């Protein structure tokens, strides 16, 4: 049956001494769309490989709809999968490709015909039955791959960076298309990607992976607004980092010295369950470009800096600003094109403002 729950329990995969996936536990509800987001080498593809059954896990269990499938051969799992390069069979027509999983199950000819027809309608690819994959465009091949993966009504659909080979416009169109099909069928999808926009756009939940472990799992807005580590903060969306030193952390507000003359009072990381920061602990302040606004300096100081460059992006202008804080980092700030207050000259002194809540505090790596 399509759309069942998937449960990963303490799943690990070791290659020699290196752990590609290290003790990952994760429950996905039936009908949920979950993206596994991570840089290359983070273990996200290995995770998918184990769910599909191509590699046995070194430890842990995989269950679908409550049934343990850890030791089940890949061809008996009935998990749908869309591969990075589609993996369509080049010697078979579109029809034969989509019918393949049904024929493997020994369905009657008429039943196969009906099911394939329904599927081709769903992916809006009627009339392409007799073509070979090489005669299709990238987007069409993608649709065939999706149809083939879904025709067997898999309890879980795995997608391994399926849109990587497409150009930007087509990729965005296919994101919505995949989301439409997933919602319509109620399919459970595990979608592996290194593209954070893709993960944000399509997912109910995003699981950020790094170094073989899940570093944060949550709704896209949660991941974006409440990153729990400096890694997630910089990997998802754009983020500025300002180095500082903790002056005082009262588990509610954290006072951070960012230059010899300036201390900022920001929400304490203890609010999100982290340890309170010691006095004198080196920290990194993170703030998103769109949370920063700035104006020409007129006496009062919030965060002093100078303009390094102005870049027109379309809906907004992106500014590179050098802060007069420790280490003089260059940060990014955005001003909506419509509310443009400039122009700013290069090296013009400005003051940056951001809401107190826009700042995230992370302990810096210990020297």
Partner 1 sequence: MADLLASPERPSPTVKPAGFRSARRGRTASRYTPVLSLALTAPLLLLLAVGFLYPIGALIKLSLFMPTLDLSAYRKIVEQPIYLAIMARTFRIALLVSILSFVLGYPVALAMASLNRRLATIAAAAVFIALWSPVLVRSYAWIVLLQRNGVVNTLMAQAGLINAPVKLLYNEGAVILATTHVLLPFMILPIFVALRSIPRELVPAARNLGAGPATAFLRVTLPLSLPGVFAGSVMCFILALGFYITPALVGGSGSMMVATLIGQQATVLLDWPFAAALSTTLLVATLVIVLVFRKAFSLSKGFASVD
Residue number with CB closer to partner 1 (140 or 253): 140
Residue among 214, 211, 215 at smallest CA distance from 20: 211
Which whole-number Å values give the CA distances from 179 to 99, 160, 203, 282, in the listed order? 23, 15, 9, 43
**Should residue 109 be labelled a site residue for partner 1 when binding is judged by CB under 8 A?**
no
Considering only 50-58, 209-217, 277-285, 304-312, which stretch makes contact with partner 1 by CB under 8 A? 50-58
**Should residue 168 be labelled a site residue for partner 1 when binding is judged by CB under 8 A?**
no
* Residues of this chain, 65-94, that bind partner 1 according to CB under 8 A: 73-81, 83-87, 89-93
Coil vs helix vs strand at 284: strand
**Should residue 170 be labelled a site residue for partner 1 when binding is judged by CB under 8 A?**
yes
Distance of alpha carbon 58 from alpha carbon 224, whole angstroms: 32
Residue among 280, 232, 58, 283 at smallest CA distance from 267: 283
Residue number with CB closer to partner 1 (74 or 267): 74
- For the bound state, the minimum distance from the C-beta of residue 75 to partner 1, rounded and expressed in Å, comes to 5
**Should residue 52 be labelled a site residue for partner 1 when binding is judged by CB under 8 A?**
yes
- For the bound state, the minimum distance from the C-beta of residue 86 to partner 1, rounded and expressed in Å, comes to 8
Beta strands (DSSP E) in the chain are 6-15, 18-28, 33-37, 59-64, 67-68, 80-82, 157-160, 189-193, 205-210, 213-218, 240-249, 253-259, 262-267, 282-287, 293-296, 303-312, 316-323, 330-336, 349-353, 360-363
**Should residue 182 be labelled a site residue for partner 1 when binding is judged by CB under 8 A?**
no
* Residues of this chain, 124-153, that bind partner 1 according to CB under 8 A: 132-141, 148, 152
Residue number with CB closer to partner 1 (165 or 324): 165
- For the bound state, the minimum distance from the C-beta of residue 186 to partner 1, rounded and expressed in Å, comes to 21
List interacting residues with partner 1 (CB under 8 A).
52-54, 73-81, 83-87, 89-93, 100-101, 104-105, 132-141, 148, 152, 165-167, 170
């Amino acid at each position: 049956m399509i759309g069942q729950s998937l449960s990963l329990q303490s799943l690990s995969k070791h290659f020699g001494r290196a752990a590609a996936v290290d003790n990952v536990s994760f429950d996905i509800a039936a009908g949920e769309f979950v993206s596994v987001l991570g840089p290359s080498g983070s273990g996200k593809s290995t995770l998918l490989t184990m769910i599909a059954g191509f590699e046995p896990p070194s430890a842990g269990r995989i269950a679908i709809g409550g049934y343990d499938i850890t030791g089940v051969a890949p061809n008996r799992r009935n998990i749908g999968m869309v591969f990075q390069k589609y993996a369509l069979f080049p010697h078979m027509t579109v029809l034969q490709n989509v019918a393949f999983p049904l024929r493997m199950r020994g369905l009657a000819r008429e039943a196969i015909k009906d099911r394939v027809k329904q599927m081709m309608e769903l992916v809006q690819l009627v009339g392409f039955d007799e073509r070979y994959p090489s005669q299709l465009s990238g987007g069409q091949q993608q649709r065939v791959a999706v149809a083939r993966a879904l025709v067997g009504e898999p309890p879980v659909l795995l997608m391994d960076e399926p849109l990587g080979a497409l150009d930007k416009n087509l990729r965005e169109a296919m994101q919505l298309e995949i989301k439409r099909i997933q919602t319509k069928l109620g399919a459970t999808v595990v979608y592996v990607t290194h593209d954070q926009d893709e993960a944000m756009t399509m997912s109910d939940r995003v699981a950020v992976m790094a170094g073989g472990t899940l570093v944060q799992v949550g709704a896209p807005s949660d991941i974006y607004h409440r990153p729990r580590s400096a890694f997630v903060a910089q990997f998802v969306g754009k983020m500025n980092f300002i180095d500082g030193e903790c002056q005082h952390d009262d588990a509610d507000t954290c006072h951070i010295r960012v230059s010899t003359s300036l201390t900022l009072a920001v929400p304490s990381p203890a609010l999100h369950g982290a340890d309170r920061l010691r006095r004198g602990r080196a920290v990194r302040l993170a703030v998103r470009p769109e949370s920063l606004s700035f104006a020409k300096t007129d006496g009062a100081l919030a965060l002093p800096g100078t303009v390094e460059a102005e870049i027109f992006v379309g809906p907004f202008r992106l500014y590179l600003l050098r802060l007069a804080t420790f280490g003089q980092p260059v940060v990014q700030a955005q001003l909506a094109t419509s509310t443009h207050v400039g122009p700013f000259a290069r090296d013009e002194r400005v003051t940056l403002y951001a809401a107190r809540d826009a700042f995230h505090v992370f302990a810096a790596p210990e020297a």
